Structure 1
Amino acid sequence: MSRVIKAVGMNRCIGCYSCMLSCSAANYKSHSLEKSAIKIKTSGGLKGRFTSTVCLACNDERSCVESCTSGALENRPGGGAILDTKKCIGCKKCVSACIIGAISFDYDSNNPIICKHCGACTNFCPHECLKMEEIANDL
């Protein structure tokens, strides 16, 4: 069984960005919101709610993996992708290929920022807007 991140209660989100900061710190040794694999933003307006953009752990057609010409992205068991930074050539094709815009690019390392579904964000969300879900390891 693999685990994936699911947004389950974004109506409770207050936009504290704790999830983004914990992702950035745990995976990139940074405290920059720009180096987070999860993105929290407002839906707009005075009564706008917050929304999350995080890898959906695609299982069938993984456009990010299919677009990678260097072989740096491989299928992650349970869905999504695993990045081999040594193989990445920084072409950014995976960024534009992601159908929901969940992949951003780190210009310092010249690598994409891809969710590992590690759960750092879920552990630091004070309102339990995100959770880890167990899923089958289909490839």
Structure 2
Amino acid sequence: MKKVVVKDQEACVACLACELACANAFYKEQVPELACIQITTKEDGSLKTLTCVQCGKCAKACENEAITKNAKGVYMISKKLCVNCGKCVEACPFGLVVKSPDKDVPSKCIACGICVEACPQDVLAIKES
């Protein structure tokens, strides 16, 4: 399975480079809320980087079978099959399936590595298992 992982959370400085790169890749906009990776602050003030674990809950919620797992274990959304119902967005336990109001299809992490490349602190990595 291929996925983005956090390899050094302590190094994260919340610069948002990963979020901006992801949002720009999917939507051509540098809006952190449109990113399929999110940096949050825990109650104790420490940072937590949320990445898609490729759990498949979004696929299970999709009644049109528009989300399927590819050969590398990455869940992908078919633009042709998606009816934009939003059930995948609701099903994601991490809030990482993202829907822009002006787009017909939500987006989710496809483990492309753009966020990994954008991170100046070397926090992220692509893991293949």
By the TM > 0.5 criterion, same fold? Answer: yes
| Alignment equivalent of 1:106, drawn from 75, 100, 107 | 100
- Alignment partners' CA distance in 2, 1:97 and 1:52: 19
Query: For each residue in 1:25-79, what CA deviation from the matched residue of structure 2 results, as whole angstroms up to 9, or x when unmatched?
Result: 122211111221111121145xx12111121022xxx221111112221113333
- List alignment gaps of at least 5 residues for structure 2: none
- List alignment gaps of at least 5 residues for structure 1: none
| Alignment equivalent of 1:93, drawn from 87, 90, 111 | 87
Aligned length: 129
Other-structure match for 1:22: 21
Other-structure match for 2:66: 72
Other-structure match for 2:53: 56
Question: Secondary structure of 2:82's partner?
Answer: coil
Residues 1:122 and 2:121 aligned together: no
TM-score by length of 2: 0.89
RMSD: 1.6
AA of the residue aligned to 2:110: K
TM-score by length of 1: 0.83
Question: Secondary structure of 1:104's partner?
Answer: coil
Matches within 5 A, 1:29-48: 29-45=28-44, 48=45
- Alignment partners' CA distance in 2, 1:53 and 1:3: 16
AA of the residue aligned to 2:61: S
Q: Extract structure 1 runs of 4+ deviating beyond 3 A.
A: none
- Alignment partners' CA distance in 2, 1:102 and 1:77: 21
Structure having the higher strand fraction is 1
